[in-house]
A and B are shown apart, each in its own frame.
Chain A
Amino acid sequence: MDNKNIYIPYLMRIEKITLEAPGVKTFRLKFENEQEAEAFSFKAGQFGEYSIVGVGESTFCIASSPTRKGYIECTFRQAGKVTSALSLAEEGDVIGFRGPYGNTFPIDEWKGKSLLFIAGGIALPPMRCVIWNALDLRENFKDITIVYGAKSVDDLVYKHELEEWGKRPDIRLVTTVDPGGETPEWKGEVGFVPSVLEKAAPSSQNTIAIVCGPPIMIKFTFPVLEKLGFTEENIYTTLENRMKCGFGKCGRCNVGEVYVCKDGPVFSYDQLKLLPAEY
């Protein structure tokens, strides 16, 4: 390990591409090298550096569950140079991946509790990893509630999975779209995530809340959760600062003394409150 160049990516072949929403794709990736596949493991919440050689690297989470072996998935929105190049990749192409990096959701500690997932827009992917992780170990948890919102019906990602989750009796799924984003067929809620959450009023009894979304959504969701009776240490979120290296060297993702890439990206709300307002 010590003699390895930490910047060399694994080569991963794109096995499957799913178009999730306009500009949003999911890649299923398989290791080119079997030994690397064997040795690889990760936990819910971790992320990696995905790259196209000659273009560059981009940071996003691993969106598949660690309980699903043999592949990893990532979901990204085409936005900058690297994600634009990734968007052009086809099934069968080889891309680079470095990781896993960062800490994880303490899912083992949540045994016997209820879970409340709250996500907005393109922030469902980091949560999907935990959701599937929990669903694959369903018996370990009590109630599972998912509140997910996007700008419009079109922008909802993982539409098939949402449908599947919606049908399952052991999941309470609340989906919502921003006002104006609904279609005539839309059966879910219309409204912003925090207010929809407040209306849905899931119990905070023995429950962990996991929140992922744009900063503005998170900002308005925390007070709602507190109102619902969640204590700070039972609320988790992820920070998504700009990163380059993934292991605390390149110097840009820190929030005060904390490096999001190394000490994060998963933080409980009480940990977050101790950080300076620099994220």
Chain B
Amino acid sequence: MMDLIKRATELLESDAVKVVIGYGKGSSTDRTRAIFVTQVADCENLVFNSQCIHNLAVYLTKAEIKKLGKPAIVAPVPVLRSILQLAAENQLTENDLVILGVTPESQLIEFESFAGIETFLDTHRIKIDQKYQETIEKIRSMPVAERFAWWVKELEPCFKCYACRSACPLCYCTRCTVENNQPQWISVASHPLGNLEWHVMRAMHLAGRCTDCEACYNACPMGIPIHLLTKSMLQDVNENFGTYGPTLKKDNTLSSFKPDDKESFIR
């Protein structure tokens, strides 16, 4: 992608940014990895292709990356969504970041403002893949005990490496709930209860914030379909509170309310 390399070169040459966070060649032909380009000469290492699935927005809030100086970030649509959500949560400042957006057609589109991303994303709404909708439907149609057993089994291989958390751009807390032990909300052990508690907690903390980038699922070394939890919650948000998409309105589902929110289960 020559445009990207050219623009990255310009940005570094003019000292407009100190680092370009982008994608580079990975360990194998089917992978790319995050690279942090600080030298003009290394700009040619930037690549962009269909394997660029890591959500690079995760690096924007990392203290050690912030120390590198003002970044430019290569941002395909999922990354843009995360950036906007992070902006809505006051985690990013417009002037401290150059956003090298990439359209689904692989066109470079630079954003001057978060509002620009908002407008762009209006035409690139989150859509839960049909196959996932069907899977969720299938799970929901199981009898309750069977459903529980299904999840306990699915979560069984989880050894709590927290790759799901680490890869999620919205899990930016410097100290996660699982790391607090007074009280110990979540069992440290990765036994069935500890796993269940962890994944409920993770999903709940992402409720109404998750942009459906699937970074958690892609990160999971055990291939656990944890993204079904957040996808299902996204459906719930859409059904109950209006279609979710990250916005600058700062009206996150769980930090706002409407007096006439509807439910059918409270007596």
Binding site for B on A (CB under 8 A): 80-81, 84
B174 contacts chain A at the CB level, 8 A cutoff: no
Residues on A with beta carbons closer than 8 Å to the beta carbon of B181: 80-81
Report the minimal beta-carbon distance from A270 to chain B, rounded to whole angstroms. 33
B182 contacts chain A at the CB level, 8 A cutoff: yes
Which B residue's beta carbon lies closest to that of A56? B181
Residues on B with beta carbons closer than 8 Å to the beta carbon of A80: 181-182
Residues on A with beta carbons closer than 8 Å to the beta carbon of B182: 80-81, 84
Residues on A with beta carbons closer than 8 Å to the beta carbon of B184: 81
Report the minimal beta-carbon distance from B70 to chain A, rounded to whole angstroms. 30
CA A81 – CA B184 in complex, angstroms? 9
Enumerate 6 A-B pairs (CB-CB under 8 Å) in ascending A order: A80-B181, A80-B182, A81-B181, A81-B182, A81-B184, A84-B182
User: Which chain B residues in 133-182 approach chain A with CB under 8 Å?
Assistant: 181-182
Report the minimal beta-carbon distance from B189 to chain A, rounded to whole angstroms. 13
Per DSSP, chain B at the interface is strand
Binding site for A on B (CB under 8 A): 181-182, 184
CA A84 – CA B181 in complex, angstroms? 11
Which B residue's beta carbon lies closest to that of A81? B181
Report the minimal beta-carbon distance from B75 to chain A, rounded to whole angstroms. 37
Residues on B with beta carbons closer than 8 Å to the beta carbon of A81: 181-182, 184
Report the minimal beta-carbon distance from A29 to chain B, rounded to whole angstroms. 24
Report the minimal beta-carbon distance from B180 to chain A, rounded to whole angstroms. 9
CA A33 – CA B182 in complex, angstroms? 32
CA A80 – CA B180 in complex, angstroms? 10
Report the minimal beta-carbon distance from A172 to chain B, rounded to whole angstroms. 42
Which B residue's beta carbon lies closest to that of A82? B181
CA A185 – CA B1 in complex, angstroms? 76
CA A23 – CA B138 in complex, angstroms? 56
CA A84 – CA B184 in complex, angstroms? 13
Which A residue's beta carbon lies closest to that of B180? A81
Report the minimal beta-carbon distance from A30 to chain B, rounded to whole angstroms. 29
CA A80 – CA B179 in complex, angstroms? 12
CA A242 – CA B28 in complex, angstroms? 38
Report the minimal beta-carbon distance from B250 to chain A, rounded to whole angstroms. 35
Residues on B with beta carbons closer than 8 Å to the beta carbon of A84: 182
CA A80 – CA B182 in complex, angstroms? 8
Report the minimal beta-carbon distance from A168 to chain B, rounded to whole angstroms. 42
Which A residue's beta carbon lies closest to that of B182? A81
Which A residue's beta carbon lies closest to that of B184? A81
Which B residue's beta carbon lies closest to that of A84? B182
Report the minimal beta-carbon distance from B244 to chain A, rounded to whole angstroms. 37
CA A80 – CA B181 in complex, angstroms? 8
Which A residue's beta carbon lies closest to that of B181? A81
CA A81 – CA B179 in complex, angstroms? 12
CA A80 – CA B184 in complex, angstroms? 12
CA A81 – CA B181 in complex, angstroms? 7
CA A84 – CA B183 in complex, angstroms? 12
The 6 closest A-B pairs by CB, nearest first: A81-B181, A81-B182, A84-B182, A80-B181, A81-B184, A80-B182
CA A81 – CA B180 in complex, angstroms? 9
CA A81 – CA B182 in complex, angstroms? 6
Which B residue's beta carbon lies closest to that of A85? B182
CA A115 – CA B182 in complex, angstroms? 42
Which A residue's beta carbon lies closest to that of B183? A81
CA A9 – CA B117 in complex, angstroms? 59
CA A95 – CA B126 in complex, angstroms? 55
CA A81 – CA B185 in complex, angstroms? 13
Report the minimal beta-carbon distance from A88 to chain B, rounded to whole angstroms. 13
Which A residue's beta carbon lies closest to that of B188? A56
CA A221 – CA B184 in complex, angstroms? 39
Report the minimal beta-carbon distance from A114 to chain B, rounded to whole angstroms. 45
Report the minimal beta-carbon distance from A11 to chain B, rounded to whole angstroms. 23
Report the minimal beta-carbon distance from A57 to chain B, rounded to whole angstroms. 13
Report the minimal beta-carbon distance from B157 to chain A, rounded to whole angstroms. 23
Report the minimal beta-carbon distance from A52 to chain B, rounded to whole angstroms. 13
CA A240 – CA B186 in complex, angstroms? 28
Report the minimal beta-carbon distance from A9 to chain B, rounded to whole angstroms. 19
Report the minimal beta-carbon distance from A7 to chain B, rounded to whole angstroms. 15
Report the minimal beta-carbon distance from B182 to chain A, rounded to whole angstroms. 5
Report the minimal beta-carbon distance from B186 to chain A, rounded to whole angstroms. 14
Report the minimal beta-carbon distance from A103 to chain B, rounded to whole angstroms. 30
Report the minimal beta-carbon distance from B121 to chain A, rounded to whole angstroms. 43
Report the minimal beta-carbon distance from B73 to chain A, rounded to whole angstroms. 32
